[in-house]
Amino acid sequence: MDILLDTCGRRRVKSLLMMYLFVVNAAAECPKPHEWENMVLTNEALLLNEFPEGSEVTVECGNGYIKESGTGIVNCINGNWNNPDLNCKKTDCGHPKPQPNMSFNTSGGTLFGAVIKVFCDKGYQLSGSSYKRCYATGWFGRSNCKIVTCAKPGEIDNGRNNWVSEDRPKYGEIIQYVCNDGYSRVGTDKIACNEIGQYDFPPPECKSGRVILTAEDKATTTSVTPTTSFQDGHDEIVDINKNNGHIILAVTLAFIFVLVGLGLILYRFLLKRKGSYDTREDLKPELLQFQNL
Ligand SMILES: *[C@@H]1O[C@H](CO)[C@@H](O)[C@H](O)[C@H]1NC(C)=O
């Protein structure tokens, strides 16, 4: 019986040992390494097919990220990969290269993945992309700021403008109109190309009117024309006339004051000459009695 048991026991131990070895052998192999956030396997690691217990692979920072610290070595321990000691941070595209008449809103940062808005200065128009995106290779998105232009200035009857160029006038440029001899201008003589590509005023008209004006008419028209025939936008001319009105009023008032002042001085002078009793006491009622005596 003892011998029998012994053989039975040995067999059991043997099979247990076999099972143990099998389990350990199975655990001694790591799975194909997965990838960790913002990290990728090195090419060498990608070429490996077997990952026995104790083996190591190296990971590096992924696209758009750079190493901040660590080695990137990952070990197969007890059939599992430990976590890499690598720290990766986003690359920084920095401030975009300055371009003429262009600005950027970088309040959202300039790190990998950031999107910034592109602006043009007043009077400049954006062409291309209105945003730039930070990629691993740098900013992506082409934009340009081109100066706004206006249509070539219109021709007018009985007058001309000073625009001789074949090009379109640009933002801020001013075109001047003059009327031919014998014609008077109605409207502004200067028109400017504004930031939205339009002129601030319509071109003036040249009317045959001056010839019939007499000297007297001229005197009146200088003050009347701005309010009647000039359209809005000619505040300056209207203002000047308003100011003239004020000046006339002020001068008249000053004249009146001077006259009144002179009158008073004259009056007091005459009173003094009349007698020496100009002490103003004559106005007091109790003294009036004595005066009447
Ligand atoms: C820039 O963008 C931020 C949002 O990212 C916004 O709050 C801010 O008003 C913008 N600034 C300008 C000047 O447009």
Considering the entire predicted model, what is its pTM? 0.57
**Does the Cβ of 115 fall within 6 Å of ligand 1?**
no
The rounded Å distance from CA 118 to ligand 1 centre is 11
Q: According to the CATH classification, is domain 17-89 in 1.10.260.40?
A: no
What are the distances in angstroms from CA 217 to CA 110, 132, 213, 214? 70, 65, 6, 5
Q: Which helix (H) or strand (E) holds 145?
A: strand 143-147
Same fold, 102-147 and 159-225: yes
Sign of the dihedral through C-alpha 256, 262, 268, 274: negative
* Closest protein CA for atom 10 of ligand 1: 105
* Cα–Cα nearest to 74, from 19, 114, 35, 18: 35
Q: According to the CATH classification, is domain 159-225 in 2.130.10.30?
A: no
* Closest protein CA for atom 1 of ligand 1: 105
**Does the Cβ of 108 fall within 6 Å of ligand 1?**
yes
Q: What is the largest CA-CA distance in the chain?
A: 178
To test the ligand 1 pocket, which listed residue (102, 104, 107) has its Cβ within 8 A of the most ligand atoms?
Answer: 107
Q: According to the CATH classification, is domain 102-147 in 3.40.50.300?
A: no
d(CA 192, CA 198): 8
To test the ligand 1 pocket, which listed residue (102, 104, 105) has its Cβ within 8 A of the most ligand atoms?
Answer: 105
Q: Give residue limits of the domains in the chain.
A: 17-89, 102-147, 159-225, 232-291
pLDDT, one tens digit for every residue, the chain (293 residues): 444 445 555 555 555 545 444 445 555 789 999 888 999 999 888 899 999 999 999 999 999 999 999 999 999 999 999 999 999 999 999 999 999 999 999 999 999 999 999 999 999 999 999 999 999 999 999 999 999 999 999 999 999 999 999 999 999 999 999 999 999 999 999 999 999 999 999 999 999 875 444 444 444 344 333 333 333 333 333 343 444 556 567 666 776 667 777 777 676 766 666 544 444 444 444 444 444 44
